[in-house]
Chain A
Amino acid sequence: GENVEQHPSTLSVQEGDSAVIKCTYSDSASNYFPWYKQELGKRPQLIIDIRSNVGEKKDQRIAVTLNKTAKHFSLHITETQPEDSAVYFCAASRDYKLSFGAGTTVTVRA
């Protein structure tokens, strides 16, 4: 089955700086890569996703890049704000099932 690894496990950044989270996957058939944000005690919420036919996607301060050859994808958050503090999960899918990374706890210092 699919194995998704996520790094780092924790990330502390100064407000206004950028944050980068990296994930690798094992199943070359995976073709859909979403990122979820989960605040404490809340549901995971989709923040951005990318499909395997695209190398990069951007939505305001958030961007995701995908390297299919290397089987890795990354989340980039620019101009971080205190409300960006949360746990972020990457995931990979080839069909209906999402395989998640272990998560990155992002703390934005004011």
Chain B
Amino acid sequence: GAGVSQTPSNKVTEKGKYVELRCDPISGHTALYWYRQSLGQGPEFLIYFQGTGAADDSGLPNDRFFAVRPEGSVSTLKIQRTERGDSAVYLCASSLGGTGDGYTFGSGTRLTVV
């Protein structure tokens, strides 16, 4: 596609529920990243995929968070047993190679846990 697409744009869920956030990267971009942006803060790294594999998941805050990219394109970030502290904007980005440059960010999914 022309840009990085994230769905849904907004998600409100009740505490304890399970949510899935989807990212559709730019076609041909092998690197995909998830970041989390809390209100008034800069984005924080969650996970990096190179192709289908998670090359670095060191930013995932705990085992309630999991992400997949089964075919090396679309990625899904999954959050189990959501907590109010998970409320944030979840940003996805993709790039051609696995370096810090060439990132294109999506518009994000604003997750609100009530």
Binding site for B on A (CB under 8 A): 4, 6, 32, 34, 42-46, 49, 89, 91, 93-103
Contacts and interface: CB of A to CB of B under 8 A. Distances in A.
Interface residues of B, number: 24
Nearest to A101: B42
Nearest to B105: A43
Nearest to A92: B100
Contact of B108 (A43, A49, A89): A43
Interface string B27-38: 000010101000
A45 B104 CA distance: 8
Contacts of A100: 42-44
The 5 closest A-B pairs by CB, nearest first: A93-B100, A100-B42, A96-B98, A43-B105, A32-B100
Given A4-B42, A43-B107, A93-B101, 10 more contacts: A6-B42, A34-B101, A43-B4, A89-B42, A95-B98, A96-B33, A100-B44, A101-B42, A102-B40, A102-B41
Nearest to A46: B103
